[in-house]
Amino acid sequence: MFDFSLMQSLLPGVPLRLLESTGSTNSDARVWLLDGAAHGSLVAAARQKTGRGRMGRAFDSAEGGLYMSLVLRSDLPAGVLTTLCAVAVRRAVFSLTGIPLDIKWVNDLQRNGKKVCGILCEGVWQGDVLLGVVAGIGLNVRQREFPPELQEIAASLYPDGQAPVSLERFAAAIHQQIMALLPQAPAHIAEYRQACITLGKPVSWERADGRHTGIARDVDVSGALIIDTSDGPVSIAAGEVSVRSQGTPRI
Ligand code: BTN
């Protein structure tokens, strides 16, 4: 159970919805945004039944993780916000735990090659008017185990189940970092590049016309991955395709 008073004291003035269990905090935040939620409003849950990730994948959301979504009254593109959230989570985790995470383009944070955090930014539209964005973050904090299909590719920060830092403190630190980085966007891209382990590596991706390969060279200010291929540089926007580091499983 979240400590509501603690969260209020860590994030004064921030509208909060703290849930023991929900379907998806991104869905909850979307409904709240449509209902008028202010910029920075936060939904957090200790479990999700239908947590979702990019490309229509499910996001395992068992007890022990932190599942949170921010309402952002922002018109920044999803790629900018996704990369910004990745930098924010990395900063927050390092400041609270001293654990340095790697960023795998575009929306994953990893520790020793295993995913500990996923980010899903979703625009909320009314007709063709963008009302805002929901920035969803799933952080594996102290799960002791994962379903068999995830055991090789996912990890938590504290796999023995003993986390010295509460979910409230992680949520508050991540929220503060996101709100601090937003006014300077896309300045965070320089820090993103430094932490992005995809750069310099061979990658492959699928499009309707088949499988492509190249070497990831850069991330531009929109969050797109620039890949050198035998036909010249290619730019892949966040959300467009799933890019796979060659020889590693897709996560
Ligand atoms: C991914 O890894 O593809 C993105 C995962 C994003 C998961 C978070 S958990 C909180 C929020 N609610 C959801 O349903 N998804 C995001």
| 41-61 tens-digit pLDDT | 999 999 999 999 998 899 999
Query: Greatest CA span in the chain, whole angstroms?
Result: 57
CA of 121 to the centre of ligand 1 (A): 8
Q: Tell how far CA 173 is from the center of its chain.
A: 14
| Percent of the chain whose predicted confidence (pLDDT) is above 90 | 90
Reference 69, options 116, 20, 33, 108; nearest CA is 33
Kindly give the number of the ligand 1 atom that is closest to the alpha carbon of 108: 2
Q: Whose CA is nearest to atom 2 of ligand 1?
A: 118
Please write the tens of the pLDDT for every residue from 143-190.
999 999 999 999 999 999 999 999 999 999 999 999 999 999 999 999
Nearest-atom number in ligand 1 for the CA of 54 is 3
Is residue 53 within 6 Å of ligand 1 at its C-beta? yes
In angstroms and rounded to an integer, the radius of gyration of the C-alpha atoms of the chain is 17
Domains and CATH numbers, the chain: 4-194 (3.30.930.10), 202-250 (2.30.30.100)
Read off the pLDDT of residues 82-120 as tens digits, 9 standing for 90 and up: 999 999 999 999 999 999 999 999 999 999 999 999 999
How many C-beta neighbours within 10 Å does residue 184 have? Answer: 9
Percent of the chain surpassing pLDDT 70: 96
Residue type for position 75: D
Distance (Å, whole) CA 244 – CA 206: 9
Percent helix, strand, coil in the chain, to 5, is 25, 35, 40
Handedness of CA 67, 147, 154, 149 (dihedral sign): negative
Query: 63 Cβ partners below 8 Å, 6+ apart?
Result: 46, 47, 143
Whether residue 25 has its Cβ less than 6 Å from ligand 1: yes
Bridge partners of 138? 67, 118
The predicted model scores a pTM of 0.95
* Nearest to 117, CA basis, from 63, 155, 161: 155
